Amino acid sequence: MNKEELSVRFDEVAEKIHFFKNLSKKELGTLKNQLVTHRYKKSQVILFQGGRNFGVYFVLSGSVKITRSEKNNRESCLKFLKEGDVFGFENLFREQSFITVQSLQDSVVSFIPKEFFLPFVEENPKLALGLLKYSNDLICNYQERLSYLTQNNAEENLAKVLLDLHYELSDSDNLIKSVENGKAPYSIPLSRSDLASMIGTAQETAIRLLSKFKEEGFIEQEKRKIYVKNVDTIRDMTR
């Protein structure tokens, strides 16, 4: 992805951010001029929980997962992000990150340094208000997911993670098709060990549960790929 392609991709991402809609082209251009871009290999950590928070981030290609580890070292998966999604806004007013962000596949991620973005927000009251609402909604979503993962068993957590992956990483066209034919054409880019970590269980248990889901027709497996086959049934398991 060259400099021109990065510029176009940022414009596309910025158009989807509702609290950027009141910014002028000049203001968006000012933000774009501050972008710092990095390429990450699969499984590379982009942001560490407890580490320095550098700014606000934009996923220009690939996909990432957001996790948080509790005192018992259990890792809980809070959200999956695909190309065009953003993160870091919930960290903006913190010195240290309260989340870890890791690439699920080779990804390109850009960020705007906090030292520039915070003064920019202070000069734009509408942006500040929209950002505050977005961050509050996001943290509430994180809290709800943490509560679910800590209160349910491994089978229910696996169903929840697979369903979240399906909805958060599939594009809208694929979701429409999945409703029509009962199967998501999107493959889930996670290893068995990743899934085990996310649902708080041993890898052997995760493998056994995946085999059970496959036997019951909930998913399909093809080498290292997992396809959600029966979305409605998996959704019912998370209620």
Query: Which percentage of the chain shows pLDDT scores above 70?
Result: 90
Say which residues have a Cβ less than 8 Å from residue 93's Cβ, sequence separation at least 6: none
Report the distance separating Cα 182 and Cα 154, nearest Å.
24
CATH number of domain containing 182:
1.10.10.10
Give me the pLDDT at residue 149, please: 78
Q: Could you count the other beta carbons within 10 Å of the beta carbon of residue 221?
A: 15
CATH number of domain containing 133:
2.60.120.10
Q: Which of 115, 132, 150 is the last residue of a domain?
A: 150
Longest dimension (CA), the chain: 57
Give me the pLDDT at residue 188, please: 66
138 and 157 part of one domain: no
Domain ranges, residue 40: 3-150
Report the distance separating Cα 39 and Cα 104, nearest Å.
13
Residues pairing with 56 in the sheet = 112
Q: What is the DSSP letter of 191?
A: -
Give me the pLDDT at residue 189, please: 63
181 and 230 part of one domain: yes
216 and 231 part of one domain: yes
96 and 199 part of one domain: no
Span 115-138, average pLDDT: 90
Span 199-223, average pLDDT: 87
Amino acid at 109: V
Give me the pLDDT at residue 44, please: 96
Helices marked H in 87-153 — which ranges? 114-122, 125-151
176 and 80 part of one domain: no
| Band (34; pLDDT cuts 50, 70, 90) | very high
